[in-house]
Amino acid sequence: MKNLVGAAIFAQSGGPTSVINASAAGVFTEALKQKNITAVYGAVHGIKGILNEEFYDISKEDAYELNLLKYTPSSVLGSVRYKLKDYKVDDTDYKRVLEVFKKYNIRYFFYNGGNDSMDTCNKISKYIKKSGYDCNVIGVPKTIDNDLYGTDHCPGFGSAAKYIATSIMELSLDAKVYDIPSICVVETMGRNAGWLTGAAALASYKGEGADLIYLPEVPFSIDKFVDDVKKVCAKNNNKCIAVVSEGVKDETGTLVCEVLSRADNDINTDSFGHKQLGGVAVQLADLLKSKLGFKTRAIEFSLLQRCAGHLASKVDVEEAFKAGVKAVKSAINGTTDKMVIYKRQTVNGKYKCKVTLGSLSLAANTERKVPLNWIINDGTFVSNEFIDYVLPLIQGDAKAPLVDGLPRFANLKKVLVNKK
């Protein structure tokens, strides 16, 4: 824990969100202010940018554009999915990171991402500490999945939840417009944690929304699902909106999309061993059509749910920005090997969020799921506790200014630092 003088590097990793660039804006604007930070770099494509010695010189950017990053979705520096091996098995990448850090006198390292990225950040942090090289390392969380351990919630989740809730309110108005049966199966992201799927309940809370919600925390029975839909149809003039997580699994732990497709070999797998999911809504909608004889429709929010900056939550954007600022201030004060976390504080009945620090190791590989006692109605809905938890996180609008009726996103110069 030292007060260091040198360059700072920031990198983005994993699936983008609406607010990962808001954290970038926080890191960059704060780092550019700090006297002890001699240069501010943005790594191109996460850890790969460090390994490849490819980074942008952030001091070359206009303050106006850096501020627009707050309202620009996706990862402006480029992201990556690249798993570092255990350094005891293969320390090639670690040696290379250290070499690059030394070459550019990088004394501050900020890594922005979800579980896997915190794993990368944690491994580098531990290796650097062991090496004796002084560099303060802080993880900046992000994930629409909201599954990082040790923080009340994750930057990116509130905006994705707001997108899902708003879109389902609108879909509900649309899907129920005719005087004929209408069954809609909506698929959200969330492999193992059902926070996003549960966010559909916010729409129901507003009187327009999902009738059934299936989270991956609870085993999914295909037969029960068909029965559940039949029951809603019987009560509800043959209209039903069912929201399912991409990651719903049967009692044996097999993904429902695999069970239904029986074509395991056709499913892509990424470098972390995660299967590329999607398609369960289409399969369930087809199944319902054959079982009920009604027109059915599958809607997959796909990438839209994580990049819809036009529906970003103001609370989410502001907190994500503060998370970036906190990372820099903490590192400057000599802190290392931590992740920025959010602590919820209810003051006079009002939501407040304290941006502070937590364990990087714990966050690295522990998934935080929806508490089972928040999943109600025989696994088909979420409780008021869930609503109370999510509602403060989706408040307010914070979107890019409009030019010609379309968002004016940040436009960075992206000046590459000359390789040394």
Catalytic residues: 145
- Reading the block at residue 108, the tokens are 């501050």
Name the segment binding a copy of itself (CB under 8 A); options: 26-34, 248-256, 308-316, 329-337: 308-316
Give yes or no for residue 89 binding a copy of itself (CB under 8 A).
Answer: no
Q: Interface with a copy of itself by CB under 8 A: which range of 28-36, 166-174, 348-356, 357-365?
A: 166-174
Helix or strand run (H / E) with residue 405 = none
DSSP 221: -
Q: Which tokens is 140 given?
A: 């900046």
Stretch that binds a copy of itself, among 122-130, 357-365, 370-378, 406-414 (CB under 8 A): 406-414
CB of 67 to a copy of itself, least distance (A): 17
Per-residue contact flags (x/-) with a copy of itself for residues 18 to 47, judged by CB under 8 A: ---------------------------x--
CB of 339 to a copy of itself, least distance (A): 22
Contact between 303 and a copy of itself (CB under 8 A)? yes
User: What is the SS3 assignment for 341?
Assistant: strand
Residues 91-120 that bind a copy of itself (CB under 8 A): none
Q: Which of residues 202-221 bind a copy of itself (CB under 8 A)?
A: 202-203, 206-208
State the minimum distance, in angstroms, from the CB of residue 172 to a copy of itself: 9
**Which of 63, 173, 234, 372 is in the footprint of a copy of itself by CB under 8 A?**
173
- Exposure b/e, 23-42, CB count within 10 A at least 16 = b: bbbbbbbbbbebeebbbbbb
Q: CB count, 10 Å around CB of 406?
A: 9
Q: Which two tokens stand for residue 159?
A: 């905006």
Q: Which of 64, 86, 179, 349 binds a copy of itself (CB under 8 A)?
A: 179
Nearer residue to a copy of itself within complex by CB, 224 or 344 = 344
Strand, coil or helix: 186: strand
d(CA 356, CA 339): 9
φ/ψ of 214, rounded to 5, equals -115, 115
* Three-state secondary structure readout of 123-137: HHHHHHHHHCCCCEE
170 binds a copy of itself (CB under 8 A): yes
User: Measured from the CB atom, is 152 or 208 closer to a copy of itself?
Assistant: 208
What tokens appear for 103 in the block?
A: 């070459």
Q: Could you tell me the two tokens for 121? A: 């950040």
Query: In the bound complex, what is the minimum distance in angstroms from residue 2's beta carbon to a copy of itself?
Result: 34
> Which residue in 142, 162, 249, 322 binds a copy of itself (CB under 8 A)?
162
As beta bridge partners, residue 338 has 138, 359
Q: Which stretch binds a copy of itself (CB under 8 A): 255-263, 294-302, 349-357, 361-369?
A: 294-302
Residue from the set 29, 74, 112, 245 that interacts with a copy of itself by CB under 8 A: 74
Alpha helix positions (H), 137-242: 157-175, 195-198, 200-205, 222-235
Q: Around Cβ 362, how many Cβ atoms within 10 Å?
A: 15
CA pair distance 88, 260, nearest whole angstrom: 41
Q: Does 80 bind a copy of itself (CB under 8 A)?
A: yes
List CB contacts of 370: < 8 A, sequence separation 6 or more.
193, 194, 195, 198, 215, 217, 382, 386
Nearer to a copy of itself, 218 or 391 (CB): 391
CB atoms closer than 10 angstroms to residue 361 = 19
User: Smallest Cα–Cα separation from 316: which of 47, 130, 73, 134?
Assistant: 73
Return the range that interacts with a copy of itself (CB under 8 A); candidates 31-39, 75-83, 325-333, 338-346: 75-83
Q: Which of 247, 240, 239, 237 is nearest to 217 (CA)?
A: 247
Of 252 and 290, which CB lies nearer to a copy of itself in the complex structure?
A: 290
Q: Which residues contact 308 (CB under 8 A, 6 or more apart)?
A: 18, 73, 159, 160, 163
Query: If binding is defined by CB under 8 A, does position 78 make contact with a copy of itself?
Result: yes
Closer residue to a copy of itself, CB minimum distance, 290 or 373? 290
Site for a copy of itself in 365-404 (CB under 8 A): 391, 394-397, 402, 404
Which residues contribute to the site for a copy of itself (CB under 8 A)? 16, 45, 48, 72-75, 78-81, 162, 165-167, 169-171, 173-175, 177-179, 184, 202-203, 206-208, 268, 276, 282, 295, 297, 299-300, 302-304, 306-311, 313, 391, 394-397, 402, 404-407, 409, 411
